[in-house]
Amino acid sequence: MTHRPVLTRTREELAAALADLKGTRALVMTMGALHKGHLQLVKRAKELGDHVVVTIFVNPTQFAPGEDFDAYPRTLDADMAALESVGADLVWAPSPEDAYPEPVDLSIDPGRIAHVLEGTARPTHFAGVALVCTKVVGLVRPDVALFGEKDAQQLAVLRHVFSQLDVPVRVEGVPIVRDTDGVALSSRNRYLLEDERVRARSLSKGLEAGREAAANGASAEQAVTAVLQVLETTGGIDVDYVALVDEGTFDILAGTPGVALVTEKDARPATMVEGGRACRILLAAKVGTTRLIDNLPVILEVERG
């Protein structure tokens, strides 16, 4: 049986509600406009903690001027109903003034991982993500925090930040949830027109082609090319980047022109698993006016000495 989550707005309300939760806490941070991907995070959180805390906050510090902060959908009533259906215990939905009671005059630079790919397209984005997530973890004090693998670079950034700052929380990645046509679930999918939605299916198909190429012994560069071939064949897709990265370090091994590859001097030890090197192939592209991101895990063959 599910129950309506307790809704809190202020820090004081949050602290009082947390005091009533005995046992371990699992945290899911969102900006609302919840879909099945978010709810899968909550379902996984229920497996990992005695209580699930969800935040709903459109964070202004991760939006640059001209981005869609004001237009981002706010659907708190629908979000609360959705969270009730999966058994969340507590929701914190603060105003910007509650989240940032003092003027923000500092930032967290997550290092080089935040200055490539999405960090190139949105230079201030990950500093804002790192700041708000560090603040929320400090307020909620969870045992585990869960993040979707769809935002793979964000997940890598937060793992790095929490490790570097000794933030006492375990980070758990949750696999991407896809619609029946293969399109990764995203709040931005609602902006796609019917014909654009059809073209958007090629993003996951391209990633699958890259993964299959890698499974058949292709190099990192050849896997990226396999993705691009699918997107180019489909047409009507404005590719921002395709890149293949090391899963553990996020070092970029191959990418489309303009993507900054890791140098031999800066490369960190490869993340090895059975079968080869654990990697992830990522892309960002515009379909119509809607910018989408997607990715898939890839095992890259490496030469053995």
Q: What CATH number corresponds to the domain at position 103?
A: 3.40.50.620
Has residue 63 been placed in a domain?
yes
Burial of 11 (0-12, 13-18, 19+ CB in 10 A): middle
Residue stretches of the annotated binding site for (R)-pantoate? 62, 154
Q: How confident is the model at residue 65 (pLDDT cuts 50, 70, 90)?
A: confident
Among 38, 51, 125, 160, the active-site one is 38
Query: What would the pLDDT profile of 88-110 be if each residue is shown by its tens digit?
Result: 999 999 999 999 999 999 999 99
Burial of 197 (0-12, 13-18, 19+ CB in 10 A): middle
Has residue 289 been placed in a domain?
yes
Taking residues 223-230, report their average pLDDT: 98
Domain assignment of residue 57, given as a range:
6-174
Residues 154 and 24 in one domain: yes
The total number of structural domains that make up the chain: 2
Residues 164 and 292 in one domain: no
Look at residue 1 and tell me whether its pLDDT is greater than 70.
no
Q: How confident is the model at residue 302 (pLDDT cuts 50, 70, 90)?
A: confident
Domain end marker among 174, 203, 219: 174
Place of tokens 């091994």: 253
Residues 141 and 253 in one domain: no
Residue stretches of the annotated binding site for ATP? 31-38, 148-151, 177, 185-188
Residues 116 and 256 in one domain: no
The better pLDDT of the pair 82, 2 is held by 82
Q: How many CB atoms lie within 10 A of CB 201?
A: 15
- Structural element, H or E, at residue 195: helix 194-215
Average the pLDDT over each of 219-223, 275-279, 293-297, 299-303 and give the range with the smallest value. 299-303
Query: What would the pLDDT profile of 192-212 be if each residue is shown by its tens digit?
Result: 999 999 999 999 999 999 999
Does residue 115 have an active-site annotation? no
Look at residue 305 and tell me whether its pLDDT is greater than 60.
no
What does the pLDDT read at residue 59? 95
Residue stretches of the annotated binding site? 31-38, 62, 148-151, 154, 177, 185-188
Mean pLDDT, the chain, integer: 96
Domain end marker among 142, 174, 206: 174
- Euclidean distance between CA atoms 60 and 69, whole angstroms: 7
Domain end marker among 141, 174, 207: 174
CATH number of residue 293's parent domain: 3.30.1300.10
Has residue 305 been placed in a domain?
no
In the chain, the percentage of residues whose pLDDT exceeds 70 is 98
Residue stretches of the annotated binding site for beta-alanine? 62
Taking residues 239-249, report their average pLDDT: 97
Q: pTM, whole model, 2 decimals? A: 0.95
